[in-house]
Amino acid sequence: MKIYSGLLSVLAFGGVLFSYSFASADAAKGEAIFKDTKVGNCKTCHDTGDKKKLGPGLKGISDRASKEWITKWLEDTQAVWDANEAYTQDLKKRMNKEGKPKPAHKTPVKLTPEQIADLIDYIGTLK
């Protein structure tokens, strides 16, 4: 019985390590997505500093918006726009988009969860 429970503990711990290694994001891949005009194309509308282009500058974005908000924004921008929660209201105000039915934000392709995680990891480095 002791061997059996010990084996289960080892397998459970190994499973956690296995899933963690594949779930971790990669800032270098995120930077490539940010710059790639056929995938993220973020650089066209966003500055990596404070400068406002079509969209806001992304320096310090991880201090202004939660990882969950950014994830939702990248998954379904219109749904976040429509939900109109506090950070979205602030964003609309700063971007002079109050009362607008649609955001200007678009990506060339729908990003995968892995691409979104990588992109969030990259923009989190913009301090």
Q: pLDDT tens, 59-82? A: 999 999 999 999 999 999 999 999
Residue with structure tokens 């955001």? 103
The angle subtended at Cα 56 by Cα 32 and Cα 69, nearest 5°, is 75
pLDDT of residue 53: 93
Q: Does 119 reside within a domain?
A: yes
Among candidates 62, 40, 46, 57, which has minimal Cα distance to 120? 62
User: What is the identity of the amino acid at 96?
Assistant: N
Residue with structure tokens 């194309």? 41
CA–CA dist 6, 23 (Å, integer)? 26
Which residue segment(s) compose the domain that 119 sits in? 25-123
Conformational region of residue 79, where left means phi above 0, alpha means psi within -120 to 50, and beta covers everything else? alpha
Q: Does 47 reside within a domain?
A: yes
Q: Does 8 reside within a domain?
A: no
Most confident of 18-22, 23-27, 109-113: 109-113
> Crossing angle for the helix pair 27-35 and 113-123, nearest 10 degrees?
100
**18: pLDDT strictly greater than 90:** no
CA–CA dist 101, 30 (Å, integer)? 29
In tens, the pLDDT along 24-47 reads 799 999 999 999 999 999 999 999
CATH, residue 61:
1.10.760.10
